[in-house]
Structure 1
Amino acid sequence: MVDSSAAIRRGHPAIFGLLAFVSFIVAVIASTLTTDFNNKGNAQSSAITGAVRYSVFVGWWTFLFSIVYLVLFLVGKGGVVTSIAGHAIWIVLTWIFFLAGAGAVTGSMHGAQNCSTSDLRYCGSMEALMAFSWIAWIILTGMLAMVIVIGGGAFRGGRTFKEGLNA
């Protein structure tokens, strides 16, 4: 059996840092758009407004918990929260949130737009929100695959899902 603990010690902070960075971008873009929609009352449709507001929640949710998981991993605390099962539950939930958010933004825009010919307000910002939402979802998909592989290896090795990632 290959010892993956060194790779996990290096990879966990890197991937959670990347996810925190991308989700921060999503949160800031969505928050800015929501502020503009609220102050100027110029959203083109309720679908766009709803999708962007949901992206505010998903972006800040992911940013906050990514930082929490990163800090708890680095200090070696957290118990069941930072266990394999704790990671799996949070990643699955966040994966679903981002899938719904990215899909809602994409659907409200009717797919990708050519901003030079589109009449969509805030087209560039909406395109960026859509792109970064899908990027975050892709990162989460990779994280989910890794947790499944690590969890499967732990289970086959006689460990439990309550143990930490590098136990």
Structure 2
Amino acid sequence: MVDLSSHIRRGHPITFLTFTIISFIVAVIASTLVTDYNSKNNAPSMGVENAVRFLVFAGWWGFLFSIIYVGLFLTGKGGVITSIAGHGIWIFVTWVFWMAGAAALTDRIGGGQDCGNSFLVYCNSTSALMAFAWIGWIILTFMLAVVAFIGGGAFRGGKSVKEGLA
């Protein structure tokens, strides 16, 4: 089997830091929207408000744990947490969170909006939140596919998925 460890050591921090930035953007936009909804009591609907609140959770979850994973990966610590299986479990759970949040918001606002003719308060911010949520989900899909590929190669090669990613 081809040794991919040098590519993983280079690509892991880049991919995780990209996702960290996207997570931060989602968390900040969603947190700002929730703050405005709470202070002005002007959420377009309970469904939109709930979807945005869930994206606050998903955004901060992704931001916090991405930083932890990058730190543990770069220092070579973490054991089972930074193993192939640990990465796979965390990425899958996060992938589900982001898909649920992005899909719920997309459903509640009816997909892409023409903000000139929209019922949405803060239409541009809500549309940006939806776009960044889907971008984060796409990055997570890529990460999940890479971890599945590496895990499958490790399993076929007689190694354990408890071993480190690189």
Decide: shared fold, TM above 0.5: yes
Q: Quote the residue 1:149 is aligned against.
A: 149
Amino acid at match of 1:132: F
SS in 1 for 2:117: coil
SS in 2 for 1:162: coil
SS in 2 for 1:161: coil
Q: Aligned residues, how many?
A: 166
Tell me the CA shift for residue 117 of structure 1.
Answer: 1.6
Q: Distance in 2 between matches of 1:127 and 1:119?
A: 12
What stretches of structure 1 of length at least 5 have no aligned partner?
A: none
Q: Quote the residue 2:62 is aligned against.
A: 62
**1:61-100 aligned within 5 A:** 61-100=61-100
Q: Distance in 1 between matches of 2:32 and 2:115?
A: 19
Tell me the CA shift for residue 119 of structure 1.
Answer: 2.6
Taking structure 1 as the reference length, the TM-score comes to 0.98
Deviations 1:9-59 (A, max 9, x none): 000000000000001000000000000001111111100110000000000
Q: Quote the residue 1:134 is aligned against.
A: 134
Amino acid at match of 1:157: G
Q: Distance in 1 between matches of 2:147 and 2:119?
A: 43
Deviations 1:70-94 (A, max 9, x none): 0000000000000000000000100
Confirm or deny that 1:51 pairs with 2:51: yes
Q: Which runs of 4+ in 1 moved over 6 A?
A: none
Q: Distance in 2 between matches of 1:97 and 1:142?
A: 15
Percent pairwise identity: 63
**CA RMSD, aligned part only?**
0.5
